[in-house]
Structure 1
Amino acid sequence: MSDISCKLLIIGAGPGGYVCAIRAGQLGIDTVVVDEGKPGGTCLNEGCIPSKALIHAADEFHKIARAPHGPLGICTGTPSLDFAKTIAWKDGIVRRLNSGVSALMKKAKVRFVTGRARFLDGKTVSINGSGDGQIIRAEYIVIASGSAPVELPDLPFGGPILTSSEAMKLTQVPESLAVVGGGYIGLELGTAFAKLGAQVTVAEAEDRILPLYDRELTRPVEARLDALGVTVLAGAKAQGYADGSLQTDQGPVAAEKVLVTVGRRPRTAGIGIEELALTQDGPFIKIDSYCQSSMRGIYAIGDVTGEPMLAHRAMAQGEMVAEHIAGHAVEWDKRAIPAVCFTDPEVVSCGAAPGEIAGTSSASFPLQANGRALASEREDGFVRVVWRDSDHAVEGIQAVGAGVSELSASFALAIEMGACLEDIGATIHAHPTQSEALHEACLHALGQALHI
């Protein structure tokens, strides 16, 4: 294949990479994207999208299975599950979105090259080679190669030991599943498989699940896991797999399959960044407020730049970088990036947590006092607001409850726009919706609570 010259080369077609490419194309920048896989990266192909499809299917199956035992008067027979068909449906959604991303890049006149890029120098990469492959030369290069699951020495991937990607490719629900790691990925998939009929055990090395969130937020999730029959082993360290069981320091756990979700590492090995001697921040690429690395003209976005490893953070960085290269006066200065755990119930955190910033206070409103939550049979949870004492500026908003992920945008918007408690308290919220809980939390903070 002939060599290519362009103004912008993006290594990786995940959420950060493809958004950067589309925006760059819109701005008239000659752009090329290189990726070994299909457009969309881990998020679209193996992570965010397929996992949410699996979670939805599990929720529907669980609702039908428990309907005769609930208070709604719904009578059904015992449901059965064709899991292979469920997976095929999930894969169909992924293919549709793959096609959509490809079409959007083509519309923006972005060229897509399939292969592995490796740096030869700060302006040149080789595709599928170390100088003998196709050569791409670019004025600017964006590293958006994403991340990969962390592998434990005692639990190497393969056979019954699964990554999250492999778990979503199973065509049969395992009778028993051990989840190593009680973070959001492990709990999302563990909960889904529990609803589909697997006996699930979660082994978390810390003293509780979701250790990055405060206990008040995680308590409803713990209660729900218990109700679903999920066993949680807190403070348990995995030590290997033998005789059909996960071996832990608290004893063996019967497990047909073991899902390892102990974190993710930046995917930078093999792309030749050692040729550039970029400044690192631990295992991550260090960047400035323009997402530029220590080498001029080399940018990095998304998971390779560290926490939070969130698709929407990568997307926002990608858009900003494209505009910076186009000469726009932009920089990375986000006050709040919402994080969502799609557990049951869901958890949302945006901005500062209680006690994180001096001179702040917090107040909550329980969903058991919210009409829409009660009418949906899901009253577990609350919405909490954190504000600055001096001027009532909202510094953080958190929530736990069924479907609260859909409130995340309003949480982020309130913080980004510099809203005060009085601003949200004076905003009319539609009734009956769960969004009223944010309104009521702010009123509670002002000493004007109406429904508690």
Structure 2
Amino acid sequence: MTDTSFDVVILGGGPGGYVAAIRAAQLKLNVAVVERENLGGICLNWGCIPTKALLRSAEVYHLMKHGDAYGLSAKDVSFDFAKVVERSRKVSKQLTDGVKFLMKKNKITVFDGTGKLNGAGKVKVEKDGKPVADLSAKHIILATGARARVFPGLEPDGKLIWTYREALMPNMMPKSLLVVGSGAIGIEFASFFRTLGAEVTVVEVLPRILPVEDAEISAFAQKAFEKQGMKIKTGATVKALKKGANNVTATIEAGGKTEELTVDRVIMAVGIVGNVENIGIEGTKVKVEKTHVVIDEYGRTGEPGVYAIGDLAGPPWLAHKAMHEGVLVVEKIAGVKGVHPMDVKNIPGCTYCMPQVASVGLTEEAARANGREIKVGKFPFIGNGKAIALGEPEGLVKTVFDAKTGELLGAHMIGAEVTELIQGYTIAKTLETTEAELMATVFPHPTLSEMMHESVLAAYGRTLHF
């Protein structure tokens, strides 16, 4: 068993953990990462990356089937489901191998095992119940992530009732599918399987799908999904799941009425819970609320020298938030000057369904609820030349400004490639840009980004192309 001393020890090698480690190494800190499964964490192995590979295959398939709209023709368009899944896994492996390379390049020590706090400044590492190393460090960063939430009576079994893991490596293409939950994870899987031809039903307990998004964007998305043939039930609850030999019958309650729906498979996408168990926080001053570790604006827990980042530290549960937190915490540890606390209002969110959804900042409803006097601008994709040329005329860009100061409070988009466009507004918010600077900015033509400019103009009654 190895006994080693480091400046920083990080429990978890996901996006938050491995990025924190790289930044620590850049700042000449001696750093170690403890990872029990795969470097890259859920994001690279079971989340962000492999889902995007699946969705890209579905998008290409969709375009091939609709080639006649572009003056093209393709006969006998089909897909090999096993190869679609295989490509997704290859993409994931390429990136996780890349993380391993980055660890070696930056001379970061990686321990294969489970890390656990073992007294002040101490971490015990074990593998399969056997001791691997006793580590010591002045600073310990908890980055153990989260896992799928499970409700009693609706437990996934990995065969008929899936979590995101089974949905990423299915052994069959279901003809019918029930997705429970309409957040980003649920909607992305619903979009993927529907595009490939499955009969998909989405059940959401809240009054609308994509509930964290602006209400107008959610309504637009629901209309688009239903046009594609997706069935959506909002204000509904799955009361029971009865498993058959090769199908599942769900009991769904909505509006005081109950119905049964039989499908090939069910995907549970009802949120996540933090991995706070078995990391040694019992008996420490680390506080946990709603399965997440409580931190201050610099990632510090109540226990001196112990920090938490990423999904473990609460919403928004996004890889880019975890990465930014990792850098922030390490720079604070290293004494870098000018480190700014995280501002969650400047963190963009993206959902890679078809059409894509992206946003940053306050929704219109939230801005009004905050007592703000606001100006709202909107611009539809149908008014944009590039969108029409792409054959993607369905979509909307919406901006929300403070009427008194011109501050950009929020931006909300739905349509082709909006997950790439949203960063423009994110930069604007970070720089505290007002409508005046955005109006004075020259946007290239012809591009989808012109709609961002037009939406700003629309908020002040100056739109040009609609």
Please, what TM-score do these two structures have when normalized by structure 2?
0.93
Q: Name the counterpart of 1:351.
A: 361
- 1:395-406 aligned at under 5 Å gives the runs 395-406=409-420
Which secondary structure does the structure 1 equivalent of 2:49 belong to?
Answer: helix
Shift of 1:134: 2.3
Say if 2:276 and 2:291, in contact at 8 Å, map to a contact too: no
Shift of 1:97: 0.6
Q: Name the counterpart of 2:138.
A: 139
Q: Name the counterpart of 2:430.
A: 416
- Hey, what's the Cα distance between the residues in 1 that align with 2:446 and 2:186? 33
Say if 1:177 and 1:198, in contact at 8 Å, map to a contact too: yes
1:9 paired to 2:9 = yes
Shift of 1:289: 1.6
Q: Among the aligned pairs, what percent are the same residue? A: 34
Q: Name the counterpart of 1:39.
A: 39
Q: Residues 73-119 of structure 1: CA distance to partner in whole angstroms, max 9, x if unpaired?
A: 32221222111111111111111111111111211111111111122
- Hey, what's the Cα distance between the residues in 1 that align with 2:285 and 2:431? 39
- Hey, what's the Cα distance between the residues in 1 that align with 2:342 and 2:209? 31
Q: Name the counterpart of 1:155.
A: 154
Q: Name the counterpart of 2:325.
A: 317
Q: Name the counterpart of 2:250.
A: 246
Shift of 1:322: 1.1
Shift of 1:165: 1.5
- 1:81-160 aligned at under 5 Å gives the runs 81-128=79-126, 132-158=131-157, 159-160=159-160
Shift of 1:195: 0.8
- Hey, what's the Cα distance between the residues in 2 that align with 1:447 and 1:177? 45
Corresponding residue to 2:268 among 260, 267, 270: 260
- Hey, what's the Cα distance between the residues in 2 that align with 1:377 and 1:300? 45
Corresponding residue to 1:436 among 440, 447, 450: 450
1:369 paired to 2:369 = no
- Hey, what's the Cα distance between the residues in 2 that align with 1:17 and 1:30? 14
Say if 1:119 and 1:275, in contact at 8 Å, map to a contact too: no
- Hey, what's the Cα distance between the residues in 1 that align with 2:320 and 2:413? 19
Q: Which moved more, 1:351-360 or 1:20-29?
A: 351-360
- Hey, what's the Cα distance between the residues in 2 that align with 1:447 and 1:198? 44
- Hey, what's the Cα distance between the residues in 2 that align with 1:102 and 1:83? 29
- Hey, what's the Cα distance between the residues in 2 that align with 1:240 and 1:388? 46
Shift of 1:169: 0.5
- Hey, what's the Cα distance between the residues in 2 that align with 1:408 and 1:305? 25
**Which amino acid is 1:107 matched to?**
K
Say if 2:214 and 2:412, in contact at 8 Å, map to a contact too: no
Q: Name the counterpart of 1:20.
A: 20
- Hey, what's the Cα distance between the residues in 1 that align with 2:131 and 2:358? 48
- Hey, what's the Cα distance between the residues in 2 that align with 1:107 and 1:40? 16
Shift of 1:416: 0.8
- 1:46-65 aligned at under 5 Å gives the runs 46-65=46-65
Q: Which runs of 5+ in 1 are unaligned?
A: none
Say if 1:293 and 1:300, in contact at 8 Å, map to a contact too: yes
Q: Which moved more, 1:7-16 or 1:101-110?
A: 101-110
Say if 1:220 and 1:345, in contact at 8 Å, map to a contact too: no
Say if 1:440 and 1:451, in contact at 8 Å, map to a contact too: yes
- 1:68-83 aligned at under 5 Å gives the runs 68=68, 71-83=69-81
1:333–1:205 Cα change, 3 Å: closer
Q: Name the counterpart of 2:341.
A: 332
Shift of 1:382: 1.3
Say if 2:140 and 2:306, in contact at 8 Å, map to a contact too: yes
- Hey, what's the Cα distance between the residues in 1 that align with 2:346 and 2:302? 25
Which secondary structure does the structure 2 equivalent of 1:273 belong to?
Answer: coil
- Hey, what's the Cα distance between the residues in 2 that align with 1:388 and 1:345? 28
Q: Which moved more, 1:422-431 or 1:438-447?
A: 438-447
Q: Residues 344-374 of structure 1: CA distance to partner in whole angstroms, max 9, x if unpaired?
A: 2111111122242412221111111011111
Runs of 4+ in 1 over 3 A off after TM superposition: 129-133
- 1:217-256 aligned at under 5 Å gives the runs 217-242=217-242, 243=244, 244=247, 245-249=249-253, 250-256=258-264
Q: Residues 266-313 of structure 1: CA distance to partner in whole angstroms, max 9, x if unpaired?
A: 111121211323123332111112111111110100111111111101
Shift of 1:166: 1.1
**Which amino acid is 1:142 matched to?**
I
Q: Name the counterpart of 2:402.
A: 388
Say if 1:120 and 1:275, in contact at 8 Å, map to a contact too: no
Q: Residues 35-65 of structure 1: CA distance to partner in whole angstroms, max 9, x if unpaired?
A: 1111100000000000000011011112212
Q: Name the counterpart of 1:297.
A: 305
- Hey, what's the Cα distance between the residues in 2 that align with 1:225 and 1:394? 29
Q: Residues 192-230 of structure 1: CA distance to partner in whole angstroms, max 9, x if unpaired?
A: 011112111111112221122232101221122112211
Q: Which runs of 5+ in 2 are unaligned?
A: none
- Hey, what's the Cα distance between the residues in 1 that align with 2:404 and 2:84? 53
- Hey, what's the Cα distance between the residues in 2 that align with 1:17 and 1:286? 17
- Hey, what's the Cα distance between the residues in 2 that align with 1:406 and 1:449? 23
Which secondary structure does the structure 1 equivalent of 2:7 belong to?
Answer: strand
Which secondary structure does the structure 2 equivalent of 1:121 belong to?
Answer: coil
- Hey, what's the Cα distance between the residues in 2 that align with 1:185 and 1:143? 24
Which secondary structure does the structure 2 equivalent of 1:84 belong to?
Answer: helix
Q: Which moved more, 1:403-412 or 1:350-359?
A: 350-359
What is the Cα-based RMSD across aligned positions, in Å? 1.6
1:276–1:246 Cα change, 3 Å: same
Say if 1:12 and 1:143, in contact at 8 Å, map to a contact too: yes
Say if 2:205 and 2:236, in contact at 8 Å, map to a contact too: yes
Say if 1:324 and 1:331, in contact at 8 Å, map to a contact too: no
